[in-house]
Chains A and B, each alone.
Chain A
Amino acid sequence: MIKFENVGVVYPGGVKALDNINLEINEGDFVIIVGLSGAGKSTLLRSINNLVKPTDGDVFVDGKNVTNASKKELKQIRSDIGMIFQTFNLVNRSNVLKNVLTGRLSQVSTIRSITGLWPKEDKQIAFESLERVEILEKAYVRGSNLSGGQQQRVGIARALAQKPTVMLADEPVASLDPVTSRVVMSYLKKINQELGITTIVNLHFLDLAKEFGTRLIGLREGNLVYDGSVDDVSDADFENIYGRSIKSSDLIGEDD
């Protein structure tokens, strides 16, 4: 489903974010990527929808070459990939419904989106997405008036509205408390299991990774150092990925 072939990313200034990544992710996988800050997790995720363009190698999504896609192809590819962010990235002054509808922008003509005359099907898709994360009743509430967990659920709804085949989550729970984090992660897991959407999540909380993931990928200084089932992972493996022993800040813990 997603294939990395010798992918490397060097940022201007010489920083090597990814080094010769070769990776294959299958349809329906729930993959969790762990690693230190700066290990390349964000870069890896963003090279899948070409928000970051690899300097070497190619990334393939569903057989199509994302790295060298034309503008039109890229738009099409991106519309099938949903993304949620650590800072939620909602338009704070717009209400929940408007935010979710922006997920349909790639499918709707400019005129309709400006005037607010969204086609009925698109509105239905938005409603369904909101329903799936159980936040439909807040449809007209302004984004900034929601709690962090609620905002992230809206973010998930927005991504779902795209009817994606792939879901990317860049540190989706880093700014949330333990209980809310587990709620958000379980929504992601539920969506993966019920809709079969290939899901890739960046996390830096190791216990959450073990709790929710099926497949674990470890990055260290831009290199792939671990790729295997979550059940097989040992503390020693984590220490190898992190290059140091595990600290309490690596675990989200329980709610106190």
Chain B
Amino acid sequence: MPKQPVQQRILKYAITALIVIGSIWSASGLEITLEKILKAPEQIAILVGAMFPLDLSSEAIERILPKVAESLFIAWAGTVIGAVFSFPVSFLAANNVAANYISETTKQILNGIRAFPELILAFVFLPITGLGALTGTLAIGIHSIGTLGKLSSEVIEGIDEGPLEAIKSSGGSKINELLFGVVPQVMPTITSYWLYRFEINLRASAVLGVVGAGGVGAELINQLRFRDFPRAGTVLVATVVLVLTVDTISAAIRRRIIKGRSIKV
């Protein structure tokens, strides 16, 4: 029976060893003992138990609901910023639309923006725009420009050049090629990326509250600090409900966009 090529086997063993050693080194470095691991489930159960019954008093709801809505607004506004600015930039970053030196530079700039988590961007904006939703929106918006820009440029780079050739051969200009050849091909996928980004941004905006950039995060951390677990549980459930709802609607819309409408003749 032929054996797997030696090089491949060595690589596989090396990687497995790397993972195992890495994990053990990490676990010991972090002082994670078996005792701690075994105790954990019980501790978690205690916490979850303390959250129920949830605090559904009108006082709680009055405090929490606006914050949950705020997270929604921040996520949407941030995504809009990301979509609007990333769209033109993505053309510049696509090597089949823009010259190589332009597309390479743009890609590197986008990578630079992408590298910073939204939270770090929020940090940077806090002293400038102060506490509140605007900071969160800017942080999410700018980070989204980076990710959406990169993803959109990849979609543009993957199109079928055939229709572009047809337009060119009929005397169309480069702009015609872009508008009638590229855009119709990429819009469905790019729009679905925008929606997916909205789903992710919603989670990010929930978190940003922790540093005071608006949204539910501040509520949760306060309730946990004051050990008001039922209220914390409410915050959690409210967040989950919001995210699930948005996820489901967004997924349905995305499916419809990709599938397209069929007309019977």
The answer to whether A and B touch directly, with their CB atoms under 8 angstroms apart, is yes
A140 and B263 within 8 A (CB):
yes
Number of B interface residues at 8 Å Cβ cutoff, please give it: 25
Enumerate chain A residues within 8 angstroms of B181, measured Cβ to Cβ: 91
Bound complex: CA A85 to CA B165 (Å): 9
Bound complex: CA A76 to CA B173 (Å): 11
- Tell me which of A87, A91, A113 contacts B185 (CB under 8 A): A91
- Tell me which of A105, A114, A138 contacts B172 (CB under 8 A): A105
Residue of B nearest to A139 (CB): B265
Nearest CB in chain A: distance from B41 CB, A: 51
Enumerate chain B residues within 8 angstroms of A91, measured Cβ to Cβ: 163, 180-181, 184-185
Task: Kindly supply a per-residue 1/0 record for chain A positions 115-149, scoring 1 wherever the CB is within 8 Å of any chain B CB and 0 otherwise.
Answer: 00000000000000000000001101110010000
- Tell me which of A49, A85, A102, A105 contacts B162 (CB under 8 A): A85
Nearest CB in chain A: distance from B110 CB, A: 26
A162 and B162 within 8 A (CB):
no
Which residues between 100 and 114 of chain A lie within 8 Å of chain B, taking CB atoms? 102-103, 105-106, 110, 113-114
- Tell me which of A105, A138, A155 contacts B180 (CB under 8 A): A105
By secondary structure, the B interface counts as: helix
- Tell me which of B162, B176, B265 contacts A89 (CB under 8 A): B162
Enumerate chain B residues within 8 angstroms of A80, measured Cβ to Cβ: 171
Residue of B nearest to A81 (CB): B169
A106 and B180 within 8 A (CB):
no
Bound complex: CA A158 to CA B166 (Å): 9
Task: Kindly supply a per-residue 1/0 record for chain A positions 62-85, scoring 1 wherever the CB is within 8 Å of any chain B CB and 0 otherwise.
Answer: 000000000000111111111101
Task: Kindly supply a per-residue 1/0 record for chain B positions 253-265, scoring 1 wherever the CB is within 8 Å of any chain A CB and 0 otherwise.
Answer: 0000000111101
Enumerate chain B residues within 8 angstroms of A168, measured Cβ to Cβ: 169
Enumerate chain A residues within 8 angstroms of B260, measured Cβ to Cβ: 93, 142
Which residues between 235 and 265 of chain B lie within 8 Å of chain A, taking CB atoms? 260-263, 265
Known contacts A93-B260, A113-B176; decide if A106 and B170 are in contact (CB<8 Å).
yes
Bound complex: CA A217 to CA B118 (Å): 65
Asked if A159 CB lies within 8 Å of chain B CBs, one says: yes
Bound complex: CA A140 to CA B162 (Å): 21
Residue of B nearest to A75 (CB): B171
Q: Which 9 pairs of residues, A with B, have the shortest CB-CB distance?
A: A79-B171, A106-B171, A78-B171, A89-B162, A89-B166, A83-B169, A105-B172, A105-B176, A91-B163
Residues on B lying within 8 angstroms of A by beta carbon are: 162-163, 165-173, 175-176, 179-181, 184-185, 187-188, 260-263, 265
Residues on A lying within 8 angstroms of B by beta carbon are: 49, 51, 74-83, 85, 87-95, 98, 102-103, 105-106, 110, 113-114, 137-138, 140-142, 145, 155, 158-159, 162, 168
Sample of 10 more A-B contacts, CB < 8 Å, known A82-B170, A113-B179: A83-B166, A89-B162, A91-B163, A91-B180, A92-B185, A93-B260, A113-B176, A113-B180, A138-B265, A140-B265
Could you name 9 residue pairs across A and B whose Cβ atoms are closer than 8 Å? A76-B171, A78-B170, A78-B171, A89-B166, A91-B181, A102-B167, A105-B173, A142-B263, A158-B166
